[in-house]
A = this chain, B = another copy of it.
Amino acid sequence: MKITVEIPNHKYNIHLKRGILQDVHKFIDLNRKVLIVTDDEIPEQYVMALQKQCPDSYLATIHAGEQSKCFIYLQFIWNALLDNGFGRKDLVIALGGGVTGDITGFAAATYMRGMDYVNIPTSTLSQIDSSIGGKTAINLGDVKNIVGAFHQPRAVFIDPDVLETLDDRNFYNGLAEAVKAGMIGDAALFELFEQMPGDRAVIQADYIEDIIEKALTVKKNIVEQDEQETGLRQVLNFGHTVGHAIESAGELAGLLHGEAIAVGMVQVTEDKAIKERLINVLTKLNLPTTHEYPAEQLKEIIAHDKKAAGSKITLIKVPQIGQAERVKLPLAAIDKYL
């Protein structure tokens, strides 16, 4: 199936289909120079499936992991483009998770002031969330996504079959963002999670396409109204203020992004009935619902993250499953959610 995203001056398709990795050439002109950016944990068979379709392809492989979203690898990708004589009308393809997509998108946004870019996300997290929306970035020191650009891809190809090679923890990790999408914008998606079994094999065989489609549709509708996050788009941050703090607190030994967001959502949900339903779904998906960090530590991290935005924070609340609202709070008011 195909989801079309329409943002002022940019219109592109998300192709969601099992096996679509073999068919990219049917939708995008690959008869030009193509740089494939991937990471060293992506199975070779996926890289080769893509290379086979590109008569003039180049490969740039980064190390897997968040620490690769840095300056050094940004330069590495720029130089791969420059050294191989890429022009504005050539193409860069990101084949990997969110890190690969973010840094590749930023390199494409800035090389020659903007060139074509295609995203092929390979993790549940990136298929469900980070492949759509046009936010590209790198980290600076320990500050995430502080430097970047809004740069929409020419197309996104989502092949649920490639999820087979993901380990269990990463498989479930990405589903947290789909649970979030249900919470803020699609009660039916949330109910789907309530009805289905938690078994990975069953989810992958029978539910995953539906989950991805529904989650992307929630995000698409929000991003189309507010590409550059001046207002509405903030609702996508449900669970993220506290979640990011939990993620930072644990550093490398801690939780994955989706896992931290799972806990963050539970922490900010006040309605008892909603909270219970949320915990049930997350538990079924092997996602954590509590954390062990002192409130003081989390508060310090939030204060540090937010110093740039002044003393107020925007918290996203879900008064009813499928609906979100934005509440501006003084930083001190975060205490009760930690």
Chain A interface (Cβ within 8 Å of chain B)? 8-9, 71, 75, 78-79, 82, 85-88, 106, 109-114, 135, 137, 140-141, 143, 146-150, 228, 307-310
Interface SS of chain A: mixed
Cβ-closest chain B residue relative to A90? B308
Cβ-closest chain B residue relative to A79? B140
Contact with A8, one of B9, B109, B143, B228 (Cβ below 8 angstroms): B9
Q: Inside 8 A of A141's CB, which chain B residues have their CB?
A: 82
Contact with A307, one of B9, B85, B148, B149 (Cβ below 8 angstroms): B85
Please, how many angstroms separate the alpha-carbon atoms of A104 and B82 in the complex? 22
Contact with A87, one of B82, B113, B308 (Cβ below 8 angstroms): B308
Given A78-B140, A140-B79, the answer on whether A110 and B148 have CB atoms closer than 8 Å is yes
Cβ-closest chain B residue relative to A135? B113
Q: Inside 8 A of A82's CB, which chain B residues have their CB?
A: 140-141, 143, 146
Given A75-B71, A308-B87, the answer on whether A137 and B113 have CB atoms closer than 8 Å is yes
Please, how many angstroms separate the alpha-carbon atoms of A196 and B78 in the complex? 47
Residue from A143, A148, A308 with most neighbouring chain B CB atoms (10 Å):
A308
Please, how many angstroms separate the alpha-carbon atoms of A142 and B87 in the complex? 16
Please, how many angstroms separate the alpha-carbon atoms of A280 and B148 in the complex? 48
List the number of copies, as a whole number: 2
**A278 CB → nearest B CB, Å:** 31
A308–B149 touching, CB < 8 Å: no
List 10 interface pairs A-B (beta carbons < 8 Å), by A numbering. A71-B71, A82-B141, A85-B307, A85-B308, A86-B308, A111-B147, A113-B149, A113-B150, A113-B228, A114-B228
Q: Inside 8 A of A111's CB, which chain B residues have their CB?
A: 146-147
Cβ-closest chain B residue relative to A109? B149
Q: Inside 8 A of A79's CB, which chain B residues have their CB?
A: 140
Q: Inside 8 A of A85's CB, which chain B residues have their CB?
A: 307-308
Please, how many angstroms separate the alpha-carbon atoms of A268 and B310 in the complex? 55
Q: Inside 8 A of A110's CB, which chain B residues have their CB?
A: 106, 110, 147-149
**A225 CB → nearest B CB, Å:** 16
Cβ-closest chain B residue relative to A113? B148
Cβ-closest chain B residue relative to A147? B110
Residue from A75, A148, A150 with most neighbouring chain B CB atoms (10 Å):
A148
**A141 CB → nearest B CB, Å:** 7
Contact with A309, one of B87, B147, B150 (Cβ below 8 angstroms): B87
Please, how many angstroms separate the alpha-carbon atoms of A111 and B106 in the complex? 12
Please, how many angstroms separate the alpha-carbon atoms of A228 and B147 in the complex? 22
Cβ-closest chain B residue relative to A310? B87
B86–A150 touching, CB < 8 Å: no
Q: Inside 8 A of A310's CB, which chain B residues have their CB?
A: 87
Please, how many angstroms separate the alpha-carbon atoms of A106 and B86 in the complex? 21
Cβ-closest chain B residue relative to A9? B8
Q: Inside 8 A of A137's CB, which chain B residues have their CB?
A: 113
Please, how many angstroms separate the alpha-carbon atoms of A229 and B46 in the complex? 36
